[in-house]
Structure 1
Amino acid sequence: MLHVTRPDIAGHKVVETIGLVRGSTVRAKHLGTDIVAGLKNLVGGEMRGYSSLMAGAREQAIDRMLEEARRKGADAVVSLRMETSSIMGGASEIVAYGTAVRLAPAS
Structure 2
Amino acid sequence: MIIVTTDCIPGKEIKDFVGFVKGSTVQSKHIGKDLLAGLKTIVGGEIKEYTDMLNEARKKAIDRMVDEARELGANAIIGMRLQSSSVMQGASEIIAYGTAVRAE
Return the TM-score normalized by structure 1: 0.92
- The alignment's C-alpha RMSD in Å is 0.9
Q: Distance in 2 between matches of 1:78 and 1:11?
A: 14
Match of 2:30 in 1: 30
Conservation of the 8 A alpha-carbon contact between 1:85 and 1:93 = yes
Cα offset for 1:68?
Answer: 0.2
Question: Is the contact made by 2:34 and 2:90 (CA closer than 8 Å) also made in structure 1?
Answer: no
TM-aligned CA deviation for residue 38 of structure 1: 1.6
Q: Distance in 2 between matches of 1:15 and 1:77?
A: 13
**Counterpart in 2 of 1:89?**
89
Alignment gaps of 5+ in structure 1: none
- Equivalent residue, structure 1, for 2:4: 4
Runs of 4+ in 1 over 3 A off after TM superposition: none
Secondary structure of the equivalent of 1:63?
helix
Deviations 1:32-52 (A, max 9, x none): 211211221111110001100
Q: Distance in 2 between matches of 1:97 and 1:15?
A: 20
Structural mapping, 1:1-107, within 5 Å: 1-104=1-104
Normalising by structure 2, we get a TM-score of: 0.95
Listed as ranges, the gaps of 5+ residues in structure 2 are: none
User: CA–CA distance in 1 between the matches of 2:62 and 2:70?
Assistant: 12
Equivalent pairs, count:
104
Aligned-pair distance for 1:89? Answer: 2.6
Q: In the aligned structure 2, how far is the partner of 1:32 from the partner of 1:11?
A: 49
The AA in structure 2 aligned to 1:66 is: V
